[in-house]
Chains A and B, each alone.
Chain A
Amino acid sequence: METVIKKYKTKNQKAKPLKMKFTLSTVIIHVILMLWGLTTIFPLVWVLNNSFKDREVILSNSFSLTNYANFTFENYITAFTRMNILRSYGNSFIISGTVVLGVMFFGGLAAYILARYKFKGRTFIYGALISAVLFPAFATIVPVFMGLYKVGLVNKHLGVILPQIAGNLPFAIIILIGFMENIPLELEEAAVVEGCGPWQIFNKIVRPISKPAFATVGIFTFLWSYNDLFLQMIVIRKNEYLPICALLNKISSQYGTDYGLMTAAVTLVIIPVLIVYLFLQKYIIKGLTAGAVKG
């Protein structure tokens, strides 16, 4: 078992086989990638840019860069003074962080089973997961809320965490199955030969190899849990427990959207997610499985 793992790590250090060539194809590839990158950076810049504008100018001048006359921190000041933003970031991290851990753990176990074992209910469960992804929020929210209310979970973090774990599991499991099916079986076969049970196989082989997969699923789970406004709004009432998206939603006015404030709110919302993404990104690297097959 340990020998198998050791082999990965040594092979990982190997130099890349192909030399770095500065060819025409490389240039073309980078041009294409950069063009696409421009389209993906643009909205972020647009949002940020508009968050420094006054609401009255946005609709007519949304694409112009701010000039000094129009530049204002007003939107951010409003956001920060009206609400306790830092505290709600905290709430978001607690809730979404827990959801991520829950989904990764329970989902990982389930995905492993569904990817590897053949058993009678397999397609049925897989189908059930796909269907669950399609359930709309309004169809589940009322009974769920009533249930939460009865057991006293309204206004509590757990009241959001539990339904969100459930809500994200189907998607996460489907993605994890996709990854796990692609792991070469030889590793696990070797482990069985060495006398490992399923729990050990899962823990010592499948889980480490699937780190990139788990990281990816972690990112998306965090993102959706974080952005799930409706559930947050319905379950949590007091400002002290509200996560950031729900809190910033309260800023909107009845008299029409204050677009300056809205873009500031969007910016504030995005920042933690990008941080989480950058953090988890380093797990999505190549080479973890290098050498495993040969050995």
Chain B
Amino acid sequence: MKKFSKVLAAGLSGAMIVTSLVGCGGQKATDTVTAPAEVVTEQAPEAEKPAESITLRTVSMFGGTDPMTNIYGSSIEEFMKSNATVKVEDESATSDEQWKSKVLIDFAAGNEPDVIFFFTDVNAKPLVEQNKVVSLEEIKSVYPEYASNITEAAMASAKYAGDGKNYAVPVRGYYEGIFCNKTLFDKYSLELPTTWENLEKAIKTFKENDVTPFAAALGHVPHYFIEHFILAEGGVADHSNQDVAAVKETWVKALTNFKTFADMGAFPIDTATSKHELQQQAFNDGKAGMFFDGNWVIEGITDKDNTVIVPMPGTGNGKKDPSDLIAGFSSGYYITKKAWDDPAKRDAAVKFVEHMTTTDLIKQFVVAASGGAPAADIGAVEGLNKLAAAGAKMAGEAKQCDSAIDGWLSKAAWDYLLGKVPVIAIGKEDAAAVVDKIIEIQNSNK
């Protein structure tokens, strides 16, 4: 599956991702004002470590058959070997709605773990706003070297949007784009959709030749289309603007594209009822020309040699730079207040996170999961397959990145939007009305 050839681009892109994510992170349109740094006068932690063993409870999303699960597991083993007095009890499982519920219920009941690898976006709201987790600022005031290997760009992206502070140490970021079946593009002498004209031409040509332009399940996973239509229309500036009312026009224009594209025949006939996995299968089977997704799907693309990934083109109004991407860091390691306030556990927890976020380990994660942006400067990356390397290159070359809207939009509003997408596409709902309702829901959720 993975090609173990040395890809120079991979090495280049390793460096490039890091350097340009500095650009990605630095130019976010809405930089919330950071609260003045608290000066925490701390007494030195206990001079003697207690002789009995400490139990550290950890939770993460690395479960099941994820390629990273093994690495995560063996890292924990290593940690316990080199820290004989600490016993780690790990409860990890793949993230789904029930798992997320379980995490929140634990926090509410007082049963939270000591360290948790969790989301940094809107999912973290209950944790952060109830003061259950410690800010990196506070941790650094006692342990200045904590998370020092993490790049600024990653830190900027992993902030909790609600208050602009960092609470979690990120490890690996994501990027999204349009996966294209190069063979099909070549067959019909089409250029890759790097401009809006190319995109429209591709859709028309594919449609005429009975190839599904976009393998899309709008009723199931329209997420990527939503993000990228808005990005295409409004660039990073509008896409990252959390005051939806202020950028209403962009949103309306963007969402109207669902109807426009549907009328062009860009989506399969059963897009309202199909499933994302089946559409991915159709793409893999060569029945569709394009497929919107993110770096996590690379493992599941069968023909990695003839599939390429390109950023979404701008609609032509100049707001979006062709290389801008939806990308970011949306998860990381938290230390809970419960552990922090326990003098016996504090040190162990900090050591654990530091162990799990070393540059080398980050590199391993990135390779194991076929790419994605690393949170630290990992240098040259070997062992990435062709598609992953291309994706990494694309991420590295991006002038700006913005994290997904569903990271800051309230769940209720996002859910409402998801439901309305297929209805807009068939023309039974007006995009402007939908956006108005979203604004209403957002306001009531403050």
Residues of A with Cβ closer than 8 Å to B? 56, 59-60, 78, 138, 141-142, 145-146, 149, 154, 229-230, 233-234, 237-238, 249-258, 261
- In the assembled complex, the CB of B217 is this many whole angstroms from the nearest CB of chain A, namely 13
**Contact (Cβ within 8 A) A230 B98:** yes
Contact flag A60-B281 (CB < 8 Å), given A142-B108, A146-B109: yes
CB-contacts of B49-95 with A (<8 A): 61, 63-66, 89, 91, 93-95
Q: A145–B93 contact, CB under 8 A?
A: no
Can you list the 6 inter-chain pairs with the closest CB atoms, starting with the nearest? A253-B65, A59-B281, A253-B64, A149-B109, A146-B109, A237-B91
Q: A253-B66, A261-B65 are in contact. Are A142 and B105 (CB under 8 A)?
A: yes
Contact A254 B296 (CB under 8 A): yes
Evaluate contact between A256 and B300: CB separation under 8 angstroms.
yes
- With A142-B105, A257-B277 known, 5 other A-B pairs at CB within 8 A are A59-B278, A138-B101, A141-B105, A145-B109, A256-B297
Q: Within the assembled complex, what's the spacing in Å between the Cα atoms of A255 and B301? A: 12
B110 sits at the interface (CB 8 A): yes
A109 to chain B, nearest CB (A): 33
Q: Are B64's CB and A252's CB within 8 A?
A: yes
26 CB contacts below 8 A, A to B, read A60-B281, A141-B105, A142-B105, A142-B108, A145-B105, A145-B109, A146-B108, A146-B109, A230-B98, A233-B99, A234-B101, A234-B102, A234-B105, A237-B91, A238-B89, A250-B63, A250-B94, A252-B64, A253-B94, A254-B61, A254-B64, A255-B296, A255-B300, A257-B277, A258-B65, A261-B65
Chain A residues closer than 8 Å to B94, beta-carbon distance: 250, 252-254
Q: Is B285 engaged at the interface, CB distance under 8 Å to the other chain?
A: yes
Question: Quick check: B111 and A154 within 8 Å, CB to CB?
Answer: yes
B contact residues vs A (CB 8 Å cutoff): 61, 63-66, 89, 91, 93-96, 98-99, 101-102, 105, 108-111, 277-278, 280-281, 285, 296-297, 299-300, 302
Give A146 to B299 CA distance when docked, in angstroms. Answer: 40
> Min CB distance, B388 to chain A, in Å?
13
A78 to B296, CA, bound (A): 22
Measured in the bound complex, the distance between the Cα atoms of B116 and A114 in whole Å is: 50
Identify which of B98, B280, B281, B285 contacts A229 (C-beta below 8 A).
B98
Question: Are B111 and A149 closer than 8 Å at their CB atoms?
Answer: yes
CB distance from B425 to the nearest CB of A (A): 24
Question: Which residues in B have their C-beta under 8 angstroms from that of A56?
Answer: 302
Greatest chain B CB density within 10 A among A146, A229, A230, A255 is at: A255
B278 close to A250 (CB less than 8 A): no
CA distance A126 to B228 in the complex (A): 55
Which residue on chain B has the smallest CB distance to residue A234? B102
- CB pair B109–A60 under 8 Å, yes or no, is no
Q: Which residue of B lies closest to A235 (CB)?
A: B102
What is the chain A residue whose CB lies nearest that of B92? A250
Chain A residue contacts of B296, Cβ below 8 A: 254-255
Contact yes or no, B299 A255, CB < 8 A: yes
A70 to B184, CA, bound (A): 28
Q: Is the CB of B277 within 8 A of A149?
A: no
Chain A contacts for B302, CB-based, 8 A = 56
Chain B CB count within 10 A is highest, among A142, A238, A258, for: A142
Contact A250 to B93, CB < 8 A, known contacts A141-B105, A230-B98, A255-B296: yes
Q: Within the assembled complex, what's the spacing in Å between the Cα atoms of A252 and B94?
A: 7
When chains A and B are docked, how far (Å) is the Cα of A141 from the Cα of B105? 9
Cross-chain contact A78 with B105 (CB below 8 angstroms): no
For the complex, what is the distance from the CA of A14 to the CA of B299, rounded to whole Å?
67
Nearest-CB residue, chain B, relative to A239: B91
| Complex CA distance for A234 and B102, rounded to whole angstroms | 6
Contact partners of B285 in chain A: CB under 8 A: 60
Provide the bound-state CA to CA distance between A11 and B258, in Å: 74
A237 to B91, CA, bound (A): 6
Residue of B nearest to A237 (CB): B91
Minimal Cβ-Cβ distance residue in A for B68: A254
Task: Please measure, in the bound complex, the distance between the C-alpha atom of A33 and the C-alpha atom of B428, giving whole angstroms.
Answer: 46
Q: How far is the CA of A106 from the CA of B407 in the complex (A)?
A: 49
B110: nearest chain-A partner, CB-CB: A149
| Minimum CB distance partner of A229 in chain B | B98
Taking the closest CB of chain B, its distance from the CB of A245, in whole angstroms, is 12
Q: In the bound complex, what is the Cα–Cα distance between A229 and B278 (angstroms)? A: 26
B-side contacts of A256, CB under 8 Å: 277, 280, 297, 300
Complex formed: what's the CA distance from A226 to B61 in Å?
Answer: 25
Are the CB atoms of B61 and A59 closer together than 8 Å? no
| Complex: A234 Cα to B110 Cα, angstroms | 14
Cα distance, A247 to B285, chains bound together (Å): 33
In the complex, the answer to whether B66 meets A255 with C-beta atoms within 8 Å is: yes
Task: Evaluate whether A59 and B277 lie within 8 angstroms (CB atoms) in the complex, with A252-B94, A253-B66, A261-B65 already known.
Answer: yes
CB closest residue in chain A, given B277: A256
B102 to A: closest C-beta gap in Å: 5
How far is the CB of B224 from the nearest CB of chain A, in Å?
15
Q: What is the CA–CA distance of A138 and B99 in the complex, to the nearest angstrom?
A: 13
C-alpha gap A145/B105 in the complex (Å): 8
A250 touches B105 (CB 8 A): no
Alpha-carbon distance A220/B108, docked complex (angstroms): 33
Q: Which residues of A contact B66 (CB under 8 A)?
A: 253-255
C-alpha spacing A257/B96, complex, angstroms: 12
**Complex Cα–Cα for A145 and B98 (A):** 14
Provide the bound-state CA to CA distance between A196 and B307, in Å: 81
Contacts of B278 in A (CB 8 A): 59
Q: What separation, in Å, do the CA atoms of A138 and B105 have in the docked complex?
A: 11
Taken together as a complex, chains A and B put the C-alpha atoms of A258 and B299 apart, in Å, by 12
- Measured CA separation A160–B172 after assembly (Å): 36
| Residues in A neighbouring B93, C-beta threshold 8 A | 233, 249-250
Separation in Å of the A287 CB from the closest CB of chain B? 46
Contact in complex: A233, B102 (CB < 8 Å): yes
